[in-house]
Structure 1
Amino acid sequence: MAALLLLCVWISVPFCLCEKAKERSARQRDAEFTEKYNSCVQGPPGMQGRDGNPGINGIPGTPGIPGRDGMKGEKGECVTERFEEPWRSNFKQCAWSSLNYGIDLGKVAECTFTKLRSDSALRVLFSGSLRLKCKAACCQRWYFTFNGAECTGPLPIESIIYLDQGSPELNSSINIHRTSTVEGLCEGITAGLVDVGIWVGTCADYPRGDASTGWNSVSRVIIEELPK
Protein backbone atom coordinates (compact mmCIF):
# COMPACT_ATOMS: atom_id res chain seq x y z
CA MET A 1 0.00 0.00 0.00
CA ALA A 2 2.75 2.38 0.84
CA ALA A 3 4.55 1.47 -2.32
CA LEU A 4 1.44 2.24 -4.37
CA LEU A 5 1.04 5.68 -2.73
CA LEU A 6 4.63 6.59 -3.37
CA LEU A 7 4.21 5.57 -7.02
CA CYS A 8 1.22 7.88 -7.43
CA VAL A 9 3.09 10.86 -5.88
CA TRP A 10 6.05 10.25 -8.16
CA ILE A 11 3.81 10.20 -11.23
CA SER A 12 1.62 13.25 -10.32
CA VAL A 13 4.38 15.73 -9.28
CA PRO A 14 5.91 16.15 -12.77
CA PHE A 15 2.44 16.56 -14.20
CA CYS A 16 1.54 19.34 -11.72
CA LEU A 17 4.80 21.11 -12.37
CA CYS A 18 4.18 20.98 -16.11
CA GLU A 19 0.62 22.35 -15.77
CA LYS A 20 1.81 25.27 -13.65
CA ALA A 21 4.47 26.07 -16.21
CA LYS A 22 1.87 26.03 -19.01
CA GLU A 23 -0.49 28.29 -16.99
CA ARG A 24 2.30 30.80 -16.30
CA SER A 25 3.32 30.88 -19.97
CA ALA A 26 -0.31 31.49 -21.05
CA ARG A 27 -0.71 34.44 -18.69
CA GLN A 28 2.51 36.00 -19.95
CA ARG A 29 1.36 35.70 -23.56
CA ASP A 30 -1.98 37.32 -22.69
CA ALA A 31 -0.20 40.24 -21.02
CA GLU A 32 2.08 40.76 -24.02
CA PHE A 33 -0.90 40.62 -26.41
CA THR A 34 -2.86 43.16 -24.36
CA GLU A 35 0.14 45.52 -24.15
CA LYS A 36 0.77 45.23 -27.92
CA TYR A 37 -2.78 45.58 -29.35
CA ASN A 38 -4.69 47.55 -26.69
CA SER A 39 -2.29 50.62 -26.43
CA CYS A 40 -3.97 53.92 -27.80
CA VAL A 41 -2.24 56.22 -30.33
CA GLN A 42 -2.81 59.97 -29.48
CA GLY A 43 -4.99 61.64 -32.10
CA PRO A 44 -5.03 65.37 -33.21
CA PRO A 45 -6.23 67.96 -30.61
CA GLY A 46 -9.92 68.84 -30.67
CA MET A 47 -11.51 72.29 -31.09
CA GLN A 48 -11.20 74.70 -28.19
CA GLY A 49 -14.27 74.73 -26.04
CA ARG A 50 -16.33 77.87 -25.28
CA ASP A 51 -15.95 79.88 -22.05
CA GLY A 52 -18.31 78.88 -19.37
CA ASN A 53 -20.93 81.15 -17.79
CA PRO A 54 -19.64 83.63 -15.19
CA GLY A 55 -19.71 82.33 -11.71
CA ILE A 56 -21.81 83.87 -8.96
CA ASN A 57 -20.35 86.38 -6.53
CA GLY A 58 -18.40 84.92 -3.74
CA ILE A 59 -18.97 85.49 -0.07
CA PRO A 60 -18.07 89.10 0.95
CA GLY A 61 -14.80 89.39 2.80
CA THR A 62 -14.49 90.65 6.30
CA PRO A 63 -13.97 94.44 6.84
CA GLY A 64 -10.36 95.57 7.00
CA ILE A 65 -8.67 97.27 9.90
CA PRO A 66 -9.47 101.05 10.05
CA GLY A 67 -6.61 103.27 8.83
CA ARG A 68 -4.82 105.77 11.03
CA ASP A 69 -5.32 109.54 10.78
CA GLY A 70 -2.85 111.31 8.49
CA MET A 71 -0.53 114.16 9.43
CA LYS A 72 -2.08 117.62 9.87
CA GLY A 73 -1.72 119.76 6.73
CA GLU A 74 -0.49 123.33 6.50
CA LYS A 75 -2.91 126.22 6.90
CA GLY A 76 -4.28 127.37 3.53
CA GLU A 77 -4.71 130.91 2.27
CA CYS A 78 -8.09 132.60 2.39
CA VAL A 79 -9.12 133.69 -1.10
CA THR A 80 -12.21 135.83 -1.57
CA GLU A 81 -13.69 135.70 -5.03
CA ARG A 82 -15.02 139.04 -6.22
CA PHE A 83 -17.80 139.44 -8.71
CA GLU A 84 -17.84 142.93 -10.18
CA GLU A 85 -20.18 144.51 -12.64
CA PRO A 86 -18.73 145.39 -16.04
CA TRP A 87 -17.41 148.92 -16.37
CA ARG A 88 -19.92 151.48 -17.57
CA SER A 89 -18.98 154.76 -19.24
CA ASN A 90 -19.70 157.78 -17.03
CA PHE A 91 -18.98 161.34 -18.14
CA LYS A 92 -20.48 164.82 -18.15
CA GLN A 93 -19.91 168.15 -19.88
CA CYS A 94 -20.83 171.65 -18.70
CA ALA A 95 -20.47 174.47 -21.26
CA TRP A 96 -20.90 178.25 -21.29
CA SER A 97 -21.25 180.36 -24.41
CA SER A 98 -19.41 183.41 -23.01
CA LEU A 99 -18.30 183.55 -19.38
CA ASN A 100 -16.47 186.87 -19.67
CA TYR A 101 -15.42 186.45 -16.03
CA GLY A 102 -12.90 189.08 -15.00
CA ILE A 103 -12.18 188.09 -11.37
CA ASP A 104 -8.57 187.62 -10.25
CA LEU A 105 -9.27 185.45 -7.17
CA GLY A 106 -12.10 182.96 -6.72
CA LYS A 107 -14.36 180.43 -8.40
CA VAL A 108 -14.91 180.86 -12.13
CA ALA A 109 -17.39 178.03 -12.83
CA GLU A 110 -18.71 174.77 -11.33
CA CYS A 111 -20.07 171.47 -12.66
CA THR A 112 -21.68 168.81 -10.42
CA PHE A 113 -20.88 165.18 -11.25
CA THR A 114 -22.18 161.83 -9.89
CA LYS A 115 -19.27 159.47 -9.24
CA LEU A 116 -20.32 155.80 -9.30
CA ARG A 117 -17.31 154.12 -7.67
CA SER A 118 -14.85 154.95 -4.93
CA ASP A 119 -12.01 152.96 -6.55
CA SER A 120 -12.01 155.02 -9.76
CA ALA A 121 -10.27 158.20 -10.93
CA LEU A 122 -11.74 161.43 -12.32
CA ARG A 123 -10.39 162.99 -15.48
CA VAL A 124 -11.21 166.70 -15.68
CA LEU A 125 -10.68 169.21 -18.48
CA PHE A 126 -11.30 172.94 -18.73
CA SER A 127 -11.03 174.56 -22.15
CA GLY A 128 -11.53 178.29 -22.59
CA SER A 129 -9.98 181.70 -23.22
CA LEU A 130 -7.47 182.95 -20.61
CA ARG A 131 -5.79 186.36 -20.33
CA LEU A 132 -3.35 188.07 -17.94
CA LYS A 133 -1.90 191.59 -17.95
CA CYS A 134 -0.01 193.66 -15.39
CA LYS A 135 2.40 196.62 -14.99
CA ALA A 136 5.33 194.53 -13.71
CA ALA A 137 6.01 190.78 -13.43
CA CYS A 138 2.93 188.85 -12.37
CA CYS A 139 1.53 185.28 -12.33
CA GLN A 140 -1.93 183.74 -12.13
CA ARG A 141 -2.98 180.10 -11.87
CA TRP A 142 -6.17 178.35 -12.91
CA TYR A 143 -6.91 175.14 -10.98
CA PHE A 144 -9.58 172.52 -10.21
CA THR A 145 -11.25 171.80 -6.89
CA PHE A 146 -13.31 168.75 -5.84
CA ASN A 147 -15.95 169.53 -3.22
CA GLY A 148 -14.03 172.74 -2.44
CA ALA A 149 -10.55 171.16 -2.04
CA GLU A 150 -7.71 170.80 -4.51
CA CYS A 151 -6.69 167.33 -5.67
CA THR A 152 -4.23 165.43 -3.46
CA GLY A 153 -4.21 162.16 -5.38
CA PRO A 154 -1.51 162.67 -6.33
CA LEU A 155 -1.14 166.50 -6.87
CA PRO A 156 -3.19 169.60 -7.77
CA ILE A 157 -4.47 170.03 -11.33
CA GLU A 158 -3.48 173.49 -12.58
CA SER A 159 -2.18 175.75 -15.36
CA ILE A 160 -0.41 179.10 -15.01
CA ILE A 161 0.27 182.27 -17.02
CA TYR A 162 3.34 184.34 -16.17
CA LEU A 163 4.43 187.78 -17.47
CA ASP A 164 7.91 189.08 -16.68
CA GLN A 165 7.40 192.50 -18.27
CA GLY A 166 4.14 194.31 -18.05
CA SER A 167 2.91 197.49 -19.65
CA PRO A 168 3.06 200.91 -17.94
CA GLU A 169 -0.72 200.88 -17.64
CA LEU A 170 -3.22 198.06 -17.18
CA ASN A 171 -5.27 199.33 -20.12
CA SER A 172 -2.33 199.19 -22.51
CA SER A 173 -2.43 197.40 -25.85
CA ILE A 174 -0.84 194.25 -24.34
CA ASN A 175 -4.11 192.37 -23.89
CA ILE A 176 -3.84 188.90 -25.46
CA HIS A 177 -6.63 186.30 -24.89
CA ARG A 178 -5.71 182.72 -25.78
CA THR A 179 -7.74 179.51 -25.62
CA SER A 180 -5.99 177.30 -23.08
CA THR A 181 -6.66 174.05 -21.19
CA VAL A 182 -6.39 172.84 -17.62
CA GLU A 183 -6.42 169.03 -17.51
CA GLY A 184 -5.51 166.11 -15.23
CA LEU A 185 -6.50 162.97 -13.30
CA CYS A 186 -7.47 162.89 -9.64
CA GLU A 187 -7.71 159.76 -7.46
CA GLY A 188 -9.02 159.11 -3.97
CA ILE A 189 -12.44 160.76 -4.40
CA THR A 190 -15.32 158.81 -2.87
CA ALA A 191 -18.45 157.87 -4.77
CA GLY A 192 -21.42 160.22 -4.83
CA LEU A 193 -22.03 163.82 -5.83
CA VAL A 194 -18.83 165.76 -6.55
CA ASP A 195 -18.79 169.54 -7.08
CA VAL A 196 -16.03 170.13 -9.64
CA GLY A 197 -14.94 173.77 -9.75
CA ILE A 198 -12.50 175.79 -11.86
CA TRP A 199 -10.80 178.58 -9.91
CA VAL A 200 -8.32 181.39 -10.52
CA GLY A 201 -5.68 182.48 -7.99
CA THR A 202 -2.14 183.70 -7.57
CA CYS A 203 1.15 181.89 -7.94
CA ALA A 204 3.43 181.54 -4.92
CA ASP A 205 5.81 184.48 -4.38
CA TYR A 206 4.47 186.49 -7.32
CA PRO A 207 2.03 189.41 -7.34
CA ARG A 208 -1.28 188.95 -9.05
CA GLY A 209 -2.25 190.65 -12.26
CA ASP A 210 -5.45 191.38 -14.15
CA ALA A 211 -6.97 187.99 -15.09
CA SER A 212 -9.80 187.21 -17.48
CA THR A 213 -11.54 183.87 -18.19
CA GLY A 214 -13.83 182.88 -21.06
CA TRP A 215 -13.85 186.12 -23.03
CA ASN A 216 -15.98 186.16 -26.17
CA SER A 217 -15.84 182.36 -26.67
CA VAL A 218 -17.24 179.02 -25.48
CA SER A 219 -15.81 177.57 -22.29
CA ARG A 220 -16.40 174.00 -21.12
CA VAL A 221 -15.65 171.59 -18.29
CA ILE A 222 -15.56 167.86 -19.13
CA ILE A 223 -15.59 165.26 -16.34
CA GLU A 224 -15.07 161.53 -16.92
CA GLU A 225 -14.86 158.61 -14.49
CA LEU A 226 -12.10 156.12 -15.35
CA PRO A 227 -11.14 152.69 -13.93
CA LYS A 228 -7.86 152.55 -12.01
Structure 2
Amino acid sequence: MTPLSPRLLILLCLALPLHGQEKGRSRGYRKDPDADKFGSCLQGPAGTPGRDGNPGANGIPGTPGIPGRDGLKGEKGECVSEVFEEPWKPNYKQCAWNSLNYGIDLGKIADCTFTKLRSESALRVLFTGSLRLKCKEACCQRWYFTFDGAECTGPLPVESIIYLNQGSPELNSTINIHRTSSVEGLCEGIKAGLVDVALWVGTCADYPRGDASTGWNSVSRIIIEELPK
Protein backbone atom coordinates (compact mmCIF):
# COMPACT_ATOMS: atom_id res chain seq x y z
CA MET A 1 0.00 0.00 0.00
CA THR A 2 1.32 3.33 -1.03
CA PRO A 3 1.51 5.84 1.78
CA LEU A 4 -0.66 9.01 1.35
CA SER A 5 1.07 12.16 0.48
CA PRO A 6 1.18 14.94 3.05
CA ARG A 7 -1.14 17.23 0.93
CA LEU A 8 -3.84 14.60 0.65
CA LEU A 9 -3.82 14.08 4.38
CA ILE A 10 -4.26 17.79 5.00
CA LEU A 11 -7.32 18.03 2.65
CA LEU A 12 -8.93 15.01 4.28
CA CYS A 13 -8.59 16.52 7.72
CA LEU A 14 -10.27 19.78 6.61
CA ALA A 15 -13.24 18.05 4.89
CA LEU A 16 -14.32 15.84 7.82
CA PRO A 17 -15.48 18.68 10.14
CA LEU A 18 -17.56 20.32 7.33
CA HIS A 19 -19.25 17.02 6.52
CA GLY A 20 -20.35 16.56 10.15
CA GLN A 21 -21.73 20.11 10.33
CA GLU A 22 -23.96 19.64 7.20
CA LYS A 23 -25.20 16.36 8.55
CA GLY A 24 -26.15 18.00 11.83
CA ARG A 25 -28.03 20.79 10.08
CA SER A 26 -30.07 18.35 8.04
CA ARG A 27 -31.20 16.55 11.18
CA GLY A 28 -32.60 19.73 12.88
CA TYR A 29 -34.71 20.98 9.88
CA ARG A 30 -38.36 19.70 9.42
CA LYS A 31 -39.98 20.16 6.06
CA ASP A 32 -43.43 21.88 5.87
CA PRO A 33 -45.95 19.29 4.62
CA ASP A 34 -47.41 21.90 2.22
CA ALA A 35 -44.06 23.00 0.96
CA ASP A 36 -44.50 21.09 -2.25
CA LYS A 37 -47.86 22.82 -2.77
CA PHE A 38 -46.99 26.42 -1.99
CA GLY A 39 -43.31 26.35 -2.68
CA SER A 40 -41.03 27.46 0.07
CA CYS A 41 -43.58 30.04 1.59
CA LEU A 42 -45.73 29.23 4.67
CA GLN A 43 -49.67 29.55 4.35
CA GLY A 44 -51.19 32.55 6.12
CA PRO A 45 -54.66 32.84 7.85
CA ALA A 46 -57.89 32.65 5.77
CA GLY A 47 -59.15 35.93 4.35
CA THR A 48 -62.64 37.57 4.84
CA PRO A 49 -65.35 35.85 2.72
CA GLY A 50 -66.32 37.85 -0.33
CA ARG A 51 -69.81 39.34 -0.97
CA ASP A 52 -72.41 37.69 -3.18
CA GLY A 53 -72.30 38.77 -6.75
CA ASN A 54 -75.06 40.61 -8.59
CA PRO A 55 -78.03 38.49 -9.79
CA GLY A 56 -77.61 37.19 -13.27
CA ALA A 57 -79.86 38.10 -16.17
CA ASN A 58 -83.01 36.04 -16.93
CA GLY A 59 -82.39 33.05 -19.05
CA ILE A 60 -83.95 32.32 -22.39
CA PRO A 61 -87.66 31.31 -22.04
CA GLY A 62 -88.24 27.60 -22.40
CA THR A 63 -90.33 26.08 -25.13
CA PRO A 64 -94.11 25.62 -24.39
CA GLY A 65 -95.11 22.23 -23.04
CA ILE A 66 -97.45 19.77 -24.69
CA PRO A 67 -101.16 20.76 -24.15
CA GLY A 68 -103.01 18.55 -21.64
CA ARG A 69 -105.94 16.35 -22.58
CA ASP A 70 -109.57 17.22 -21.75
CA GLY A 71 -110.88 15.71 -18.49
CA LEU A 72 -113.93 13.51 -18.09
CA LYS A 73 -117.33 15.19 -18.47
CA GLY A 74 -118.86 16.08 -15.09
CA GLU A 75 -122.40 15.42 -13.92
CA LYS A 76 -125.10 17.97 -14.60
CA GLY A 77 -125.57 20.33 -11.66
CA GLU A 78 -128.78 21.44 -10.08
CA CYS A 79 -130.09 24.97 -10.44
CA VAL A 80 -130.36 26.48 -6.97
CA SER A 81 -131.55 30.00 -6.38
CA GLU A 82 -131.32 31.66 -3.01
CA VAL A 83 -134.32 33.63 -1.86
CA PHE A 84 -133.88 35.90 1.10
CA GLU A 85 -137.14 36.66 2.86
CA GLU A 86 -138.05 38.27 6.12
CA PRO A 87 -138.67 35.88 9.04
CA TRP A 88 -142.27 34.68 9.20
CA LYS A 89 -144.32 36.45 11.84
CA PRO A 90 -147.53 34.96 13.27
CA ASN A 91 -150.72 36.56 11.96
CA TYR A 92 -154.02 35.41 13.41
CA LYS A 93 -157.35 36.69 14.69
CA GLN A 94 -160.23 35.38 16.77
CA CYS A 95 -163.86 36.50 16.83
CA ALA A 96 -166.04 35.05 19.61
CA TRP A 97 -169.72 35.20 20.64
CA ASN A 98 -171.43 34.17 23.85
CA SER A 99 -174.73 32.31 23.33
CA LEU A 100 -175.06 33.14 19.62
CA ASN A 101 -178.38 31.26 19.51
CA TYR A 102 -178.84 31.69 15.77
CA GLY A 103 -181.74 29.60 14.50
CA ILE A 104 -181.74 30.35 10.74
CA ASP A 105 -181.69 27.48 8.24
CA LEU A 106 -180.36 29.43 5.24
CA GLY A 107 -177.96 32.40 5.20
CA LYS A 108 -175.00 34.04 6.94
CA ILE A 109 -174.52 33.22 10.61
CA ALA A 110 -171.46 35.28 11.57
CA ASP A 111 -168.45 36.98 9.99
CA CYS A 112 -164.96 38.09 10.98
CA THR A 113 -162.71 40.44 8.95
CA PHE A 114 -159.02 39.60 8.65
CA THR A 115 -155.99 41.42 7.21
CA LYS A 116 -153.94 39.04 5.05
CA LEU A 117 -150.31 40.11 4.70
CA ARG A 118 -149.10 37.98 1.76
CA SER A 119 -150.73 36.77 -1.44
CA GLU A 120 -148.78 33.49 -1.58
CA SER A 121 -149.84 32.40 1.91
CA ALA A 122 -152.82 30.23 2.93
CA LEU A 123 -155.64 30.93 5.38
CA ARG A 124 -156.58 28.43 8.04
CA VAL A 125 -160.15 28.98 9.29
CA LEU A 126 -161.94 27.32 12.19
CA PHE A 127 -165.45 27.61 13.58
CA THR A 128 -166.21 25.83 16.83
CA GLY A 129 -169.60 25.94 18.59
CA SER A 130 -172.87 24.17 19.17
CA LEU A 131 -174.71 22.81 16.10
CA ARG A 132 -178.06 21.09 15.89
CA LEU A 133 -180.41 19.70 13.27
CA LYS A 134 -183.88 18.22 13.77
CA CYS A 135 -186.63 17.02 11.47
CA LYS A 136 -189.43 14.45 11.36
CA GLU A 137 -188.22 13.04 8.04
CA ALA A 138 -184.69 12.65 6.64
CA CYS A 139 -182.90 16.01 6.29
CA CYS A 140 -179.42 17.50 5.85
CA GLN A 141 -177.85 20.90 6.59
CA ARG A 142 -174.44 22.25 5.55
CA TRP A 143 -172.24 24.79 7.40
CA TYR A 144 -169.50 26.39 5.27
CA PHE A 145 -167.08 29.32 5.03
CA THR A 146 -166.96 32.09 2.43
CA PHE A 147 -164.11 34.50 1.64
CA ASP A 148 -165.28 37.89 0.40
CA GLY A 149 -168.67 36.30 -0.36
CA ALA A 150 -167.36 33.28 -2.33
CA GLU A 151 -166.57 29.75 -1.25
CA CYS A 152 -162.98 28.54 -1.33
CA THR A 153 -161.70 27.13 -4.64
CA GLY A 154 -158.10 26.56 -3.59
CA PRO A 155 -158.47 23.68 -3.61
CA LEU A 156 -162.05 22.97 -2.35
CA PRO A 157 -164.77 24.46 -0.11
CA VAL A 158 -164.39 24.44 3.68
CA GLU A 159 -167.53 22.77 5.04
CA SER A 160 -169.19 20.39 7.50
CA ILE A 161 -172.62 18.69 7.31
CA ILE A 162 -175.15 17.12 9.64
CA TYR A 163 -177.49 14.48 8.27
CA LEU A 164 -180.49 13.16 10.21
CA ASN A 165 -182.34 10.11 8.96
CA GLN A 166 -185.58 10.41 10.93
CA GLY A 167 -187.10 11.37 14.25
CA SER A 168 -188.31 9.14 17.04
CA PRO A 169 -191.67 7.61 16.02
CA GLU A 170 -192.12 5.72 19.25
CA LEU A 171 -192.01 8.96 21.24
CA ASN A 172 -193.89 10.86 18.52
CA SER A 173 -191.22 13.57 18.57
CA THR A 174 -188.04 14.59 16.76
CA ILE A 175 -184.50 14.17 18.02
CA ASN A 176 -183.16 17.49 19.38
CA ILE A 177 -179.48 17.17 20.29
CA HIS A 178 -177.08 20.18 20.40
CA ARG A 179 -173.40 19.18 20.11
CA THR A 180 -170.23 21.24 20.02
CA SER A 181 -168.88 20.75 16.50
CA SER A 182 -166.32 22.37 14.22
CA VAL A 183 -165.90 23.54 10.62
CA GLU A 184 -162.22 23.75 9.68
CA GLY A 185 -159.93 23.88 6.65
CA LEU A 186 -157.22 25.66 4.61
CA CYS A 187 -157.85 27.96 1.67
CA GLU A 188 -155.20 29.12 -0.83
CA GLY A 189 -155.20 31.68 -3.61
CA ILE A 190 -156.59 34.59 -1.60
CA LYS A 191 -154.95 37.95 -2.30
CA ALA A 192 -153.33 40.05 0.39
CA GLY A 193 -155.43 42.71 2.08
CA LEU A 194 -158.67 42.87 4.03
CA VAL A 195 -160.67 39.61 3.75
CA ASP A 196 -164.25 39.11 4.93
CA VAL A 197 -164.46 35.59 6.38
CA ALA A 198 -168.00 34.40 7.09
CA LEU A 199 -169.82 31.26 8.28
CA TRP A 200 -173.02 30.27 6.47
CA VAL A 201 -175.65 27.55 6.73
CA GLY A 202 -177.49 25.99 3.79
CA THR A 203 -178.92 22.77 2.41
CA CYS A 204 -177.17 19.69 1.18
CA ALA A 205 -177.62 18.73 -2.48
CA ASP A 206 -180.74 16.58 -3.16
CA TYR A 207 -181.79 16.47 0.52
CA PRO A 208 -184.65 18.35 2.21
CA ARG A 209 -183.96 21.17 4.61
CA GLY A 210 -184.27 20.64 8.36
CA ASP A 211 -184.48 22.87 11.42
CA ALA A 212 -180.94 24.10 12.09
CA SER A 213 -179.54 25.85 15.14
CA THR A 214 -176.07 27.37 15.70
CA GLY A 215 -174.40 28.49 18.93
CA TRP A 216 -177.07 27.53 21.41
CA ASN A 217 -176.33 28.34 25.07
CA SER A 218 -172.52 28.27 24.61
CA VAL A 219 -169.54 30.21 23.29
CA SER A 220 -168.95 30.18 19.54
CA ARG A 221 -165.75 31.39 17.87
CA ILE A 222 -164.12 31.85 14.47
CA ILE A 223 -160.29 31.64 14.38
CA ILE A 224 -158.35 32.80 11.30
CA GLU A 225 -154.62 32.23 10.84
CA GLU A 226 -152.26 33.05 7.96
CA LEU A 227 -149.81 30.26 7.19
CA PRO A 228 -146.75 30.05 4.86
CA LYS A 229 -146.99 27.64 1.91
What is the letter of the counterpart of residue 140 of structure 1?
Q
Structure 2 contact 129–221 (Cα < 8 Å) conserved = yes
- Structure 2: gaps spanning 5 or more residues: 1-33, 39-44, 61-77
Shift of 1:51: 8.0
For residue 55 of structure 1, what is the aligned residue in structure 2?
54
For residue 129 of structure 2, what is the aligned residue in structure 1?
128
For residue 115 of structure 2, what is the aligned residue in structure 1?
114
For residues 225 and 54 of structure 1, the distance between their equivalents in structure 2, rounded to whole angstroms, comes to 81
Residues 1-228 of structure 1: pairs in structure 2 closer than 5 A: 39-40=36-37, 52-53=51-52, 55=54, 81-167=82-168, 172=173, 174-228=175-229
> What SS does the corresponding residue of 2:88 show, helix, strand or coil?
coil
> What SS does the corresponding residue of 1:180 show, helix, strand or coil?
strand
Shift of 1:82: 3.3
For residues 187 and 179 of structure 1, the distance between their equivalents in structure 2, rounded to whole angstroms, comes to 27
**CA distance 1:57–1:185, change in 2 (3 Å):** farther
Structure 1 contact 93–222 (Cα < 8 Å) conserved = yes
Q: Please list the CA deviations of residues 31-84 of structure 1 after superposition, one character each: whole Å capped at 9, or x if unmatched.
A: xxxxxx97417xxxx98x86844736969x9xxxxxxxxxxxxxxx99865331
For residues 198 and 84 of structure 1, the distance between their equivalents in structure 2, rounded to whole angstroms, comes to 34
**CA distance 1:164–1:78, change in 2 (3 Å):** closer
Structure 1 contact 136–167 (Cα < 8 Å) conserved = no
**CA distance 1:123–1:57, change in 2 (3 Å):** farther
Structure 2 contact 135–175 (Cα < 8 Å) conserved = no
> Which stretches of structure 1, 4 residues or longer, exceed 6 Å deviation after superposition?
77-80
Residues paired across the two proteins, number? 173
Q: Please list the CA deviations of residues 65-117 of structure 1 after superposition, one character each: whole Å capped at 9, or x if unmatched.
A: xxxxxxxxxxxx99865331110000000000011101001100000000000
Structure 1 contact 93–220 (Cα < 8 Å) conserved = yes
For residues 119 and 195 of structure 2, the distance between their equivalents in structure 1, rounded to whole angstroms, comes to 12
**CA distance 1:191–1:92, change in 2 (3 Å):** same
For residues 153 and 167 of structure 1, the distance between their equivalents in structure 2, rounded to whole angstroms, comes to 41
For residues 50 and 99 of structure 2, the distance between their equivalents in structure 1, rounded to whole angstroms, comes to 104
For residues 181 and 191 of structure 1, the distance between their equivalents in structure 2, rounded to whole angstroms, comes to 26
For residues 53 and 107 of structure 2, the distance between their equivalents in structure 1, rounded to whole angstroms, comes to 100
For residues 174 and 200 of structure 1, the distance between their equivalents in structure 2, rounded to whole angstroms, comes to 20
Alignment RMSD: 3.3
For residues 218 and 126 of structure 1, the distance between their equivalents in structure 2, rounded to whole angstroms, comes to 11
What is the letter of the counterpart of residue 55 of structure 1?
N
**CA distance 1:56–1:103, change in 2 (3 Å):** same
For residues 208 and 216 of structure 1, the distance between their equivalents in structure 2, rounded to whole angstroms, comes to 23
For residues 173 and 117 of structure 2, the distance between their equivalents in structure 1, rounded to whole angstroms, comes to 49
